[in-house]
């Protein structure tokens, strides 16, 4: 069963989508208030999030950014706003897809499955053992390697944090530039490579045979715990 959180203030649309997706074993929990949606994410686990942009109290673009700071659950933007800048900003804020309203529920179902197929499958028991070597503690703003706190610059911490949260997935240099606050948007791909090199050095990795931060030719990097 696929578990989905929908943050949508149009109750009628939410009901239609919930009933339609249910026949495909996709269980939807809808909340109309974005703050309640953020609160729900802090106590429940979901496979995917469907997020409207025009919400009461806070813009959906800000909600998307807030979600991405705390988790890497896939996000599909479902919005009647067709401005190209809304789409660009949503993707820069961490959304995985943007579906303009109105749309056929069948397309939504197809996009949900397509996005989830891209997600890395992690064996929980195996992951628990590996996590003992590199541990991210966002509340303390620190990352430990072999139980020692790494001495990282803001840019190094931001990049390593982002890679850890995207574990197993390929992250482009451009994605790092747009999503790590300590990195200027004017930064070059080369500057990202330099910072990655410094992080590898602090992890004691060989540039030729890195253990945790693997280069993906022509795209960027992938973190493996």
* DSSP line for 12-77: HHHHHHHHHHHTTTEEEEEESSHHHHHHHHHHS--SEEEE-SS-SSS-HHHHHHHHHHH----EEE
Q: Would you say the pTM of this structure is higher than 0.75?
A: no
Could you read off the pLDDT of 52-68 as tens digits, one per residue?
999 999 999 999 999 99
Closest CA to 179 of 67, 38, 39: 67
Name the 3-class secondary structure at 157.
helix
Could you read off the pLDDT of 149-191 as tens digits, one per residue?
999 999 999 999 999 988 888 889 998 998 898 898 888 889 9
């Amino acid at each position: 069963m696929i578990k989905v959180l929908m943050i949508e203030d149009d109750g009628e649309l939410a009901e239609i989508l919930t009933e339609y997706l249910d026949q495909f074993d996709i269980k939807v929990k809808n909340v109309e208030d974005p703050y309640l949606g953020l609160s729900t994410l802090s106590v429940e686990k979901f496979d995917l999030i469907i997020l409207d942009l025009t919400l009461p109290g806070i813009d959906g673009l800000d909600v998307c950014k807030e979600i991405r700071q705390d988790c890497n659950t896939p996000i599909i933007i479902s919005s009647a706003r067709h401005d190209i800048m809304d789409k660009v900003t949503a993707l820069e804020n961490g959304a995985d897809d943007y579906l303009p309203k109105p749309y056929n529920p069948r397309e939504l179902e197809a996009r949900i499955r397509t996005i989830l197929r891209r997600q890395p499958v992690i064996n929980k028991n195996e992951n628990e053992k590996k996590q003992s070597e590199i541990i991210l503690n966002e509340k303390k703003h620190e990352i430990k390697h072999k139980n020692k706190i790494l001495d990282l610059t803001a840019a190094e911490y931001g990049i390593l944090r982002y890679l850890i949260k995207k574990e197993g997935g390929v992250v482009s240099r451009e994605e790092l530039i747009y999503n790590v606050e300590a990195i200027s948007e004017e930064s070059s791909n080369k500057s990202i490579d330099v910072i990655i090199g410094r992080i590898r050095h602090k992890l004691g990795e060989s540039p030729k045979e890195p253990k945790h931060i693997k280069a993906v030719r022509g795209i960027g990097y992938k973190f493996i715990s």
